[in-house]
Structure 1
């Protein structure tokens, strides 16, 4: 891997965007490496949580403008589709993804963060959708996910103005779930990942899909899927989980 680093800590996979000389900007090679790592994670029988973070002062400072500037319309659409498909893949995977936002999450970096299930941010984190400054709009589904994350009016404000907002504004709008001191970011994120790893594995895998069903297909579809999954878990780990609760012991998954 040239642009990403991969590390496993027990049942958590940590993917670090490591093009620090380019503020971890996204290009075609980064997407290829990221998809290769997603393939690896999907084949794993022990990874329970994935953490995405960045090296240096940026999480990801956007897409690589040096690569984009020479693209034709057809090539630009293909690049956009690659990003859209990659982030949709993350969104649809059964494993929860935590974004550990260590610095600038701009443009494509914000879109990467939006594909995660929730975000833990450094108190130095900054967010922006600056594409209109380049005569562009977000191309990796940011126009759709930002609206869902912070509401239509907030999203339109930041999309049209390209204003930067900090971790505290992001938390106020519901984009960020926890803010921690910069030097504690990975420690605190790993505590959350380790906590998730103690929960019922089948339940956690199913949970993401149930939430997505309601978000994308409406509450009735979500409720129907919830009912189906709730019942199915009684054939897997729920009996052990409930028995462990009654016996006041740790469940053995």
Structure 2
């Protein structure tokens, strides 16, 4: 057949039918053989490949199970609307692995290990107390590691580059034994409407999603299993004597202007949230058409079910003056007072018993089995949502609006 945008209506219908029949076969195969497949790819769980490596090996060892390198390269050069939806097959694959208690637990733990390159970055950080990455700045100030988002051209929106930089920065902060507490904050932006102001995050970069430049494996699934889960649970210790335990640290978030989408999701795993007067939080899942990461799993325990539904299903914004803000934010202060509040939070959370107690809170609030079960469904649903017609249409409308005005 010709490429997707050049197909006739009959050809498009035929292609959809072929894809869906193949996906049904993959679902059926993995329902029976997920553990066996995972054992082959990890040498009986003696190796710990990350998501991209696992998918790449599966394409070689089990041809047709997931897209191969050539198919993925072809997809990368296309707009989201013109793709075949190969990432749906990756979602089926990872969803099946995560449904298995054996394979899924091993995979989650594997993704809690430091990412490639983090050890080299740690050496540089220890020399200079500063690490500059393409979209992230990491600085040590006393016992605190300050992580600043620097994707200012797009209101600190999330893209592949920012996600990769954040995982490295979080790894380094967790690995450096001089650091007791981490601080997350958005840097100043260059967007005309907010030029020079700090912004926490505008969520997923819809322009990049429209362009087909948002990776399912590295970004949409990788952020949840990678740096966000590391914020919640810490790093998997490499010392066998540690018995597979994780080493975590407390985290503070300072919200300037707004925390939208993925930005708000981050706040749900932090230990202290300080917000600027007039800021707002939102999870615009209903508007964007995608699943807001693990927000559906974590938001309810903070806000209760009714408010969580209003935020996720109806797009309700929580402003700092809203009484509901107290469920999500610890302090609301004038802009000039934010730096001092962050310093106080660092001092309060730097105590030796804090890390152990936050680990126990995480264990009580979000058991690993609950996380694994949610991620198994999320992998499949999110992969389909990013290729759904309504999401494609919404990214096109966003691109058209942003091309006409600076909003």
TM-score by length of 2: 0.49
Contact 1:96 1:117 in 2 (8 A): yes
Equivalent residue, structure 1, for 2:170: 38
Report which stretch shifted further, 35-44 or 63-72: 63-72
Q: Which residue of 2 aligns with 1:235?
A: none
CA separation of 1:58 and 1:108: change in aligned 2, threshold 3 A:
same
2:264 corresponds to 1:104: no
Contact kept in structure 2, 1:171 and 1:177, CA below 8 Å: no
Give the CA deviation at 1:155.
Answer: 0.5
Structure-1 residue corresponding to 2:223: 83
Query: The residue matched to 1:193 in structure 2 has which SS?
Result: helix
CA displacement at 1:169 relative to structure 2:
2.4
Match in the other structure for 2:347: 194
Deviation at 1:91, TM superposition (A): 0.5
Cα deviation code 1:48-103 (max 9, x no counterpart): 00010111342001111122224499x43653211212211110022001111111
Whether contact under 8 Å (2:280, 2:318) holds in the other structure is: yes
SS in 1 for 2:291: coil
- Greater Cα offset, 183-192 or 209-218: 209-218
1:86-165 aligned at under 5 Å gives the runs 86-93=227-234, 94-138=248-292, 140-165=293-318
In 1, Cα distance between the equivalents of 2:287 and 2:258?
17
Asked whether the 8 Å contact 2:272–2:345 carries over to 1, the reply is no
Question: Is 162-171 or 129-138 further displaced after alignment?
Answer: 162-171
Shift of the 130–142 alpha-carbon distance from structure 1 to 2, 3 Å rule, reads same
- Give 1:11 shift: 0.4
Aligned 8 A contact 1:26 1:64 in 2: yes
Equivalents in 2 of 1:195, 1:9: separation in Å?
Answer: 15
Of the three residues 180, 201, 216, the one matched with 2:366 is 216
Structure 1's 171 and 97: CA in aligned 2 closer, same or farther, altered over 3 A?
Answer: farther
Q: Give 5+ residue unaligned stretches, structure 2.
A: 1-132, 189-197, 235-247, 369-407
Pick from 148, 166, 175 the counterpart of residue 328 of structure 2.
175
1:11 matched residue in structure 2? 143
Deviation at 1:170, TM superposition (A): 6.5
Structure 1: gaps spanning 5 or more residues: 219-253
Give CA-to-partner distance per residue, 1:189-208, whole Å, 9 cap, x none. Answer: 112212322x2x2x122111
Give the drift of 1:21: 1.6
**How much has 1:165 moved relative to structure 2?**
1.8
Residue 207 of structure 1: aligned partner: 357
CA RMSD of aligned residues (A): 2.1
Corresponding residue for residue 26 of structure 1: 158
